[in-house]
A and B are shown apart, each in its own frame.
Chain A
Amino acid sequence: MPEEAKPNQSELVVLAKDGLYCEAGGFYIDPWGSVETGIITHGHGDHAHIGSQHYYASRSSLGILKTRMGEETPITTLAYGKVIRLGETEVSLHPAGHILGSAQVRIAHAGQVWVVSGDYKRDPDPTCAPFEVVECDTFVTEATFASPVYHWPPIENVVREIHDWWMQNRARGQNSILCAYSLGKVQRVLAELMRFTNEPVHLHGSATRLVQVYRDEGVSMAPTIPVSELDKKEKLKGALIIAPPSASGSTWTRRFEPYEVGFASGWMQIRGNRRRKAYDRGFIVSDHADWPSLLRTIEETKAKRIIATHGSSDILARYVREEMGKEGITFETQFGEEDE
């Protein structure tokens, strides 16, 4: 591990055993251990862990968090931009453009401003508020796709491909099973599909509640039918079925034969990943920042110091140091890439 960060008084946020810790504020951000106070950037499982005593989160993420962490979870919600005092710090949440309710955490203390990005993207997404540039001294950024090979095609082009694929399969009497992560990806694809169709899309059980949460928040999406509500004997023909990646190759898909399987993920940018036999088609859809977005965001925050967390963090940190003339280090967090 290069330049490991040790708890240190001058650092506003440090990497501690239970997560990213702000001592001056007495809180953690996306703690993976059990702590007193945690601020949750967004609802994905690697960021929203249960087991802490009290949480803060954005107002629009509440529905998602309750669904995933349990109704009883003690969460105080904040509107984007609303500043609160925690310990000796001033804290506010700002849209990250990743999924519904996703937030960057801005922390101000003793003339210093830190922003912890959580996961974010800069591409348009009708299901959530767009990323807001927050200027800061230190920017803690994700690095999931920190390689110059990643640059996302316009989402409408990709969703057009998905729609064409669906129609082509239908013409052949086949169903289309699209694998996409249940929180964020599914809803974004459903919302974008409205450009092309009003036809209902069939949903695997893992996404139905979360789709409802989005609808309750006022996000408009293509109509959906839960597969679980179909008559057991009903044979789908020419349908689009959205399911989590784990459903691919499982017995659950048998009732949809004949079908093709597609996969929506940023990893599909790489030909080798697309060509692996698990699915027939790959579609480049990501809720993370691609390489140009990472660099652009780093510049726009005007931060002098960059801390890269999960993904290809050492690549991004080195690039920041050697090519952007800023300080660049890494935090080895336990955040993962489960949503891709």
Chain B
Amino acid sequence: MNFVSLYRKLDSSNSTLDKIEALREHFLNADVEETALAMRLILGQLPPKKAKSAELKALALDQARIPEWLFAEAYSSTGDLAETMALINAVPDAPPFTGSVPEWIKTHLRGADEALSGLREAFSKWDSFSVMVLIKLLTGSLRVGVSRGILIKALAKAYEIPEANIAHVLMGNLKIDASFIGRLKMKDWADPLDFSSPYPFALASPIDGEIEDLGPITDWAIEWKWDGIRGQWIYRNEKVSLWSRGEELISDRFPEFATRSLKFESLVLDGEILAWKPGAKEPSAFALLQTRIARKKVTEADLKKAPARFIAYDCVEKDGVDLRELPFSERRKILEELMPELTASIPAFGISEIQNEESWTSAKASRAGSREKRVEGFILKRKSSPYFHGRKKGDWWKWKIDTMSLDAVMVYAQSGHGKRSNLFTDYTFALRGADDELVPVAKAYSGLDQKEIMELDRWIRAHTKERFGPVRSVEPIQVFELGFEGIADSPRHKSGIALRFPRILRWRRDKPVSEIDRLDAIRELYLKPDIEPVSREELPLFKSANLDV
């Protein structure tokens, strides 16, 4: 029982039940190294790759004795490089690889030569599925189609540990090795957490019915839905760690949130990281914050150009006590009480104000002004709600404003990858430019149902103008309404703008291409000039960030 056999089982079924069962069986029966490897790979902790894909591909082509163009055709039908390399070299009736995958990695991920010799051996010995998995390991492209939720369920079942405990153990910078698995199996919880570990985030669900169905507005705390990065700020052992919602440790990127001298034994806050210029009434566009995320090392210049604030939502731990079971209203009281001391030590901290609304009608009116405030609408939290883990429906809701949208015409199409290989599912859309030319503005993947995808795929094949490798240009006929979450100036793009999270809202078969939007009109409608920063002197709250971390 090795990782290849597990991957085959996970891959052969789309049923969640099957996946949980396959994992449970593996966690119970495979040896600890195979178990640790499976967990690491599921969590995306890939071994560093040592060979270039191009070298492996050259070997695959040579071994299969097929020409380059045929490989390109084969690749376009699978959408997966490792799969293509394995399939074209399939040996009839070859057995699966049943050896130890951790051992194989140790031997063949040492260097480029070891990788090539490993692959050469694999081609001649094992079935194409095994070979594909090994290539994916060599190229660092292995993705296991198992969500964290499924992993947690399977671990909970295999080792008879409550899911919430597993969820907590899996947060943070986890070293998953044989001894970790040993501790899981022994249910050894004496010291399960390193002191920087965050709690699993509580997530809000998009509101799906009428807002009035939520009952009396007095049951709810209403806050703006800030458009930044959700984060957990942790102060333990006189040390600060900052985690993003994507479970990345980003403390070093935001030195303005550091401190060493709080009187609390520990403190864990949930909040939003926003780019916010001193003195500004509202945060800067998300694009400015992105300049901070992109950099591993921040310079003084970065801090000046894109200063950040942490707007606190919730307090989930204080003085070593886990507060998650308390109702929101009580946690909020605790948060409000500790804010003065916190902001005295860290000026970049703030609190997400509760909005006082008398009725849903007045809330609707306030929400309509969201865009001017650079927020995405409201977050509604039931005052009695605990800080739950994951996306549990009913207690926290996102009540977002309608997204921005534009009508654009499809100009390029490309086949998708993985699940959507060999169908055209990646589309590029264009608007009308100043000289009536078509200017590509966005790529979008999702938003159509399977039937529409198939129909559009056939249309694309029949209306291809030119092929550029995997990309086809198509006649500009099909008009789509695209939604997006934000827009920013972008000198890197020909159109001069970059859209955030563009996606297809509707296929506008009713619209001819003559009715698509003009680039300049879209700029005017949505692109708001960023707020000019005021001088530091004018800002009492934002004196100087503590930079000597």
Contacts and interface: CB of A to CB of B under 8 A. Distances in A.
Interface of A: 147-151, 154, 172, 260, 269-282, 312, 315, 318-319, 322-323
B419 interface: yes
Contact of B87 (A149, A275, A323): A149
B84 interface: yes
- Scoring A148, A274, A318 by chain B CB atoms within 10 A of each residue's CB, the highest score goes to A148
B64 interface: yes
Interface string B1-17: 00000000001111101
Contact of A280 (B13, B421, B450): B13
Nearest to B66: A148
17 contacts: A147-B74, A148-B87, A151-B92, A270-B78, A271-B11, A271-B80, A271-B132, A272-B78, A272-B79, A272-B418, A272-B420, A275-B145, A277-B14, A281-B12, A312-B73, A322-B67, A323-B67
Contacts of B522: none
Contact of B88 (A149, A260, A272): A149
Contacts of A279: 14
Given A149-B78, A149-B88, A281 B13 contact: yes
Given A275-B11, A279-B14, A312-B73, 13 more contacts: A149-B78, A149-B88, A151-B87, A172-B17, A271-B78, A271-B132, A271-B421, A272-B80, A272-B421, A274-B11, A275-B419, A315-B73, A318-B69
A260 B17 CA distance: 11
Contacts of A260: 15
A147 B13 contact: no
Contacts of B14: 275, 277, 279-281
A148 B13 CA distance: 25
A149 B77 contact: yes
A172 to B, nearest CB: 8
A272 B421 CA distance: 5
B32 interface: no
Nearest to B129: A271
B301 interface: no
Interface string B101-134: 0000000000000000000000000000000100
Chain B interface SS verdict (over half): helix
Interface in B58-80: 64, 66-67, 69-70, 73-74, 77-80
Interface string B218-231: 00000000000000
Interface residues of B, number: 35
Interface string B86-107: 0110101100000000000000
A312 B73 CA distance: 10
Nearest to A172: B17
Interface of B: 11-15, 17-18, 64, 66-67, 69-70, 73-74, 77-80, 83-84, 87-88, 90, 92-93, 132, 145, 416-422, 450
A17 B397 CA distance: 61
A270 B77 contact: yes
B77 A147 contact: yes
B12 A151 contact: no
A277 B13 CA distance: 10
Contact of A269 (B13, B64, B87, B420): B87
B121 to A, nearest CB: 20
Contacts of A147: 70, 73-74, 77
Nearest to A319: B70
Contacts of B417: 272
B422 A148 contact: no
A274 B145 CA distance: 13
- Scoring B70, B77, B87, B132 by chain A CB atoms within 10 A of each residue's CB, the highest score goes to B77
- Scoring A172, A280, A282, A322 by chain B CB atoms within 10 A of each residue's CB, the highest score goes to A280
Contacts of B90: 151
A77 to B, nearest CB: 37
Contacts of B450: 276, 278
Contacts of A318: 69
Contacts of A269: 87
A280 B15 CA distance: 6
Q: What are the nearest 7 A-B pairs in CB distance? A: A272-B421, A149-B87, A148-B88, A280-B15, A275-B419, A149-B74, A280-B14
A78 B41 CA distance: 60
A310 to B, nearest CB: 14
A332 to B, nearest CB: 12
- Scoring B67, B70, B88 by chain A CB atoms within 10 A of each residue's CB, the highest score goes to B70
A282 B416 CA distance: 20
B12 A274 contact: yes
